[in-house]
Structure 1
Amino acid sequence: MSREFDGKVAFVSGAGGGIGLAIASDLLEHGAYVFAFDLKAEPDALQGHPRARFVQGDLRDSAQVQSIFDAIDKAHNKLDLVVNAAGLCFFERDGSVEKADDAVFAATIDVNLTGAIRVVRASLPLLRKAGGGAFVHIASVVGLRNMENIIDGGPADAYQISKAGLISFSRSIAMQYAREKIRSNTVCPGSISTPMTADIYVDPRRTAAMEARTPLGIIGLPADVSAATLFLLSEKARFITGIDLPVDGGLLAKL
């Protein structure tokens, strides 16, 4: 197994399950020290690992976010890698801006976009101490395009707006801090089987429909998103910043 992240210090939000946990686990496997953050309890996969530290907290609380970066500073005096993987979608309550209530919009934007902003703000001083580093933000193909089935299945406006904002934010970071050797990119998943989407994939008809509209004919896994994320965090991507990498089975290529 490659140890390409030996000695690197990483922060991963949303590491309590799904894509965030896959990324945190893969970073550990490749030698990084990982500070994992999530509102959920610590997953079994991270418990007892000598290079993992899990902090249960809320991205909507600036003080809680700052506290984990204070802990990273105290433990390592630097930070190399930052992954904003936390996200939520109120599948049954999100919808058209005409109908979705303010609470759905506020919670979605606060976690998916403002939470990432809080992480970036708190992490920048530590990335500077390291002499540079890399951000990867987990966005979505719907942040680049509309929901493919927006006409038949309806929109998820709060989620779509939050992910589009995250993509735009990442590009701004990429330009602002490029001369400080700080890179910023997004990974934009398509149909991925995660705990957040579990209720969708319970219905075999919906699963079949998603497979059918994806050119590769399959639904992705958190490991697929993690592989793309680790590439963008690595030195192999040292000349890549400000891009949005779809991990979507070819979905965007046909739109």
Structure 2
Amino acid sequence: MPRTVVVTGASSGIGAALRGLLAERGDQVLGVDLAGSDLDADLSTPRGRADAAEEVGKRTGHVDAVITCAGTSDPGEAMVTVNYFGSTEFVEALRPLLAKSEAPRVVLVGSISGTQPNDPAVVETCLRGDEQAALTAVREAIADHRAFQLYPSSKAAIAQWARRTSVSEGWADAGIAVNVVAPGVVRTPMTAGLFADPKRKAVMDQAVPMPLHGYAAAEDVARVLAYFADAATTHITGQVVYVDGGAEATLRPAALC
């Protein structure tokens, strides 16, 4: 039976690949992006998130799944305003619509980078829901020449939010599954600059070794996202699943399992 699925970041990369895959299987997809999608919205601001959620409600009476693909890899404030709050606050605003579904699902796009060193202050303020404090922590990290920690911080916070939220009141008890799909290196417009620069590519390859099949295509990640959004995928919540060609298993000891 067709499902109503909201996909953020639907105009390019993983989001665009996912939108096409879901449409092919007959789902009604509502794409959300800055421009060029079904619903143009700026998820980097509280008002933009609220307005986008309200517009989703006007266009559909319920939501079966929300998949958050919107994000940026450019070091800066958008690391928290888009990557973290643009996902978590948008999903929270859609919870009443998800609760009307017979099989509601939330899937957030994380990253293998979430396992790498991060800025504890950024992670803590994000999880506390204090966006202004998180922005202050971001500015302090940039001033301290630690901007490289911002992307891992945003993705670590996403994973921790999902773990905590998945079993919180109003989520699991309402049948809403919340999971994270964490890619390794994916060939998308967002990573084009890394591939174009031999030095940056060498650093990337060392940081994220992918022994199984190498770099992923956007479609490889989209298929896993679609699986977790499916009504038939039950009893899985609070999980972080790495679509990384074995990078996480390579970098972290088996004792952590």
After TM superposition, give the deviation of residue 128 of structure 1 in Å: 1.1
Tell me, yes or no, if the aligned pair for 1:18 and 1:222 is still in contact at 8 Å: yes
Query: Counterpart in 1 of 2:22?
Result: 27
Q: Is 1:14 equivalent to 2:9 in the alignment?
A: yes
Matches within 5 A, 1:206-225: 207=201, 210=205, 213-216=209-212, 218-225=214-221
Unaligned runs of 5+ in 1: 1-5, 43-53, 95-103, 148-153
Give 3-state SS (helix, strand or coil) of 1:129's partner.
coil
Q: Which is further off, 33-42 or 209-218? A: 209-218
Q: Which is further off, 15-24 or 67-76? A: 67-76
Percentage identity across paired residues of the two chains: 30
Matches within 5 A, 1:174-253: 174-176=166-168, 177-203=171-197, 207=201, 210=205, 213-216=209-212, 218-253=214-249
Structure 1 pair 41–73 and aligned structure 2 pair: CA distance change class (3 A): closer
After TM superposition, give the deviation of residue 207 of structure 1 in Å: 4.6
- 1:100-149 deviation per Cα after TM superposition (whole angstroms, max 9, x unaligned): xxxx2x321111111112211211010112244000000101113349xx
Unaligned runs of 5+ in 2: 119-145, 252-257
Take 1:132 and 1:26, find their aligned partners in 2: how far apart are those partners?
19
1:119 maps to amino acid: F
2:13 maps to amino acid: G
Take 2:20 and 2:164, find their aligned partners in 1: how far apart are those partners?
29
Tell me, yes or no, if the aligned pair for 1:16 and 1:41 is still in contact at 8 Å: yes
Q: Which is further off, 175-184 or 31-40? A: 31-40
Query: Counterpart in 1 of 2:42?
Result: 58
After TM superposition, give the deviation of residue 179 of structure 1 in Å: 1.2
Take 2:57 and 2:42, find their aligned partners in 1: how far apart are those partners?
19
Q: How many residues align?
A: 220
After TM superposition, give the deviation of residue 171 of structure 1 in Å: 1.1
Give 3-state SS (helix, strand or coil) of 1:112's partner.
coil
After TM superposition, give the deviation of residue 62 of structure 1 in Å: 3.0
Structure 1 pair 231–156 and aligned structure 2 pair: CA distance change class (3 A): same
Q: Is 1:138 equivalent to 2:87 in the alignment?
A: no
Take 1:216 and 1:131, find their aligned partners in 2: how far apart are those partners?
36
Tell me, yes or no, if the aligned pair for 2:33 and 2:41 is still in contact at 8 Å: yes
Take 1:229 and 1:167, find their aligned partners in 2: how far apart are those partners?
15
Take 1:175 and 1:116, find their aligned partners in 2: how far apart are those partners?
18
- 1:136-166 deviation per Cα after TM superposition (whole angstroms, max 9, x unaligned): 000101113349xxxxxx9721111111001
Q: Which is further off, 12-21 or 32-41? A: 32-41
Query: Counterpart in 1 of 2:154?
Result: 162
Q: Is 1:38 equivalent to 2:33 in the alignment?
A: yes
1:84 maps to amino acid: T
- 1:180-237 deviation per Cα after TM superposition (whole angstroms, max 9, x unaligned): 1000000001111110111111235655772993212521111111011011111342
Tell me, yes or no, if the aligned pair for 1:59 and 1:118 is still in contact at 8 Å: no
Tell me, yes or no, if the aligned pair for 1:137 and 1:186 is still in contact at 8 Å: yes
After TM superposition, give the deviation of residue 24 of structure 1 in Å: 1.3
CA-based RMSD: 2.2
Take 2:60 and 2:13, find their aligned partners in 1: how far apart are those partners?
27
TM (normalized to structure 1)?
Answer: 0.79
TM (normalized to structure 2)?
Answer: 0.79
Take 1:79 and 1:235, find their aligned partners in 2: how far apart are those partners?
12
Query: Counterpart in 2 of 1:49?
Result: none
Give 3-state SS (helix, strand or coil) of 1:235's partner.
coil
